[in-house]
Structures are given as C-alpha cells and as structure tokens.
Amino acid sequence: MKPFSYERASTPAQAAAAVAARPGARFVAGGTNLLDLMKLQIETPPHLVDVNGIGLDRIEPTAQGGLRIGALVRNGDLAADARVRRDYGVLSRALVAGASGQLRNMATTAGNLLQRTRCPYFYDTNMPCNKRVPGSGCSALGGANRTHAVVGGSDQCIATHPSDMAVALRALDATVETVRADGATRVIPIADFHRLPGNTPQLDTNLQPGELITSVTLPAPLGGTQAYRKVRDRASYAFALVSVATVLQRDGTGRVALGGVAHKPWRVEAADAELPRGARAVAQRLLAGAHPTEHNAFKLALAERTLAGALAERRS
C-alpha cells in the first residue's frame, strides 16, 4: 500500500472541503471496497478523509411520504429497518442478497453506490484495463468475459456494476443528494447517477471531484408485490450473473430493473409497459440491442427466466 495521510471530518461541509483541498483525496467510511483497492495499488489516494463522524446515519421520513436514508446508514441496518422491510421490500431483499453479514455491517449506503466493478482484470495490475489505466486496453474483450455486460457496453469496457442495492433503487426511482465544497447541493435521479462506459470507462458515476453523497431518498411507498431475485455462481457472497428487481401492481403494471448485465443498474421504462405480456416481452425490450460475447450470451436467456420467476411472485 502506498503511504497516505488521514484526517477525520466532523461535518459534511468540512469533509467536502478537505477532499477538495487535496487533489486525489478520497472519502472513506466503511472502506469495504476502497481499502482492498488501496492494498492492490489500484487506487492510490494521497489523503483519506474519514466521514464516519459527520452524522448522516439516520433514516427519516420525508414530507412526501418517503424515506431519506443518510449516506452513512449501514447496509445491514437499512435492510433490517422496519419501514424499509414493510414498504420497500425490493430494497431490503436486494441488500440482504449482497456481500456477507460482516460486510453489510460495515458498508454504507453511499459506499454501496460507489463500489467499483469486480471485473477480474480491473484487479489484476499486470493486465491492461481501460478503467484502471485509461488507454491501456480492455483485457476482457478478448478474454474471460462470462460475467461481463451484455448491454450498454463499449469497445473500451464491458464491465458490470456490482451493486444489488442500486438495482432496487433504480426500480424505486430513488434520488441521490450531494454537497460540494462550496456548499452547493444537488439532487441526482438514480437513473443519472451511474454512467455507461463509452470512451471514459474510468468514470463510474456523474459525481464531480470532491462531491459528497449526503443521502438517498426513496419516494412514497409504491405498494404492490416487490421482489429481488439474484442468480450467482454460488449461494452467497457472490456477485450477480443476473439479478431482477420488480415492483408489480395487481392491475398488471409495474417496474423492472436488471443487475449484472450492464455498467449501471439497467432499466428501460418502455419495458415496464410490456409487463402484461409476460417475461419474454419485457426481457426483449430490456435487452434490445444487446451485444453479448461468446461466453456470456447465456445471460439473455437467464435474464428472461429470472424475470419469469419474479413475475410469478405477483400476488393474485
């Protein structure tokens, strides 16, 4: 690990200012991904700003009937919150499907959104990777790419986003609130928070340097039957090959988002309109224009079947 300096912030504004003052500085909270990346020298921030003492660790009702989740609420606490379990079952189930109990007790809401791809070449510093070293090439394009994206990729990167929580947030149309060092705040729809790789695969999100996530807001409860189905190579502690988040209403309408298929949580609003026609119609619309590789084409059929299972959970 490269040497770095460290400080603890006591307010969000102080944290944002501290990171803005040091080029390359990073926020750290649970550290469940960042510290691994630092040990492997994939990320080498010269300075860490610990945000564990800045508050933002509560889940509060909003005036609109939803919930505001502080950026530092731990994944385990969020999954277990009675309001989340009752009104946002898709989110609770997605959280429990992620990582391990130990990691969920450390990982935060903001950190979950900011975790980086688990593409094996991203973690192998002997191999070219445009996300790690822009312009160096993409080892996955002609390599082992069974777990990679089938839609939304580019000739620069076909990595997937690893978060389960973010897929549920996409189905719920959550928003992400941030603050910058100058005190400016903004609200980012979750649909616009993560990026597709394009020609800049090194950028995972649309956050600006030094911009601090302060909370994630859920809309008023959507009701319906909510499900999160995750298919992976082993029963626990593994990332999704394909996952499906659904919010299904009795009248046949609903929302669907996919994980494990793209560089960001994948939702195509037009696919929601296909729900009355069944899983095949929805999957075809969701994955229109897909460019699978020789090794991951199975994800197209897997997504349809996983979706069919989720649709079968709809209450009669």
> Which spans of this chain sit near ligand SF4 (rule: CB under 6 A)?
117, 119, 121-122, 129-131, 138-140, 148, 157-159, 201
Pick from 214, 197, 168: nearest CA to 71: 214
Nearer to ligand SF4, 126 or 316 (CB): 126
Nearer to ligand SF4, 74 or 131 (CB): 131
CB of 80 to ligand SF4, least distance (A): 33
Cβ-contact 143, 121 below 8 angstroms: yes
CB of 164 to ligand SF4, least distance (A): 19
Nearer to ligand SF4, 131 or 255 (CB): 131
Pick from 170, 175, 206, 204: nearest CA to 71: 175
Query: What sign does the dihedral 36-38-43-46 (CA atoms) show?
Result: positive
Residue found by looking up tokens 């400016």 in the block = 184
Cβ-contact 264, 256 below 8 angstroms: no
CB of 95 to ligand SF4, least distance (A): 25
CB of 204 to ligand SF4, least distance (A): 10
Cβ-contact 261, 151 below 8 angstroms: yes
Nearer to ligand SF4, 147 or 214 (CB): 147
Return the SS3 of 171.
helix
Tokens describing residue 225? 């039957």
CB of 298 to ligand SF4, least distance (A): 18
CB of 122 to ligand SF4, least distance (A): 4
Helices 89-97, 165-172: crossing angle, 10 deg rounding = 160
| E strand segments, the chain | 5-8, 26-28, 47-50, 59-61, 67-70, 175-179, 185-189, 212-218, 225-231, 242-248, 254-259
CB of 142 to ligand SF4, least distance (A): 10
Nearer to ligand SF4, 137 or 309 (CB): 137
CB of 43 to ligand SF4, least distance (A): 13
212-218 sheet: strands from edge to edge: 59-61, 67-70, 212-218, 175-179, 185-189
DSSP of 94-122: HHHHSS-HHHHHH-BHHHHHHPPP--HHH
Nearer to ligand SF4, 158 or 247 (CB): 158
* Alpha-carbon span 238 to 14, nearest angstrom: 36
- Residues 210, 37, 203, 209: what is their CA dihedral angle, to the nearest 10 degrees? 10
Nearer to ligand SF4, 14 or 44 (CB): 44
Nearer to ligand SF4, 164 or 204 (CB): 204
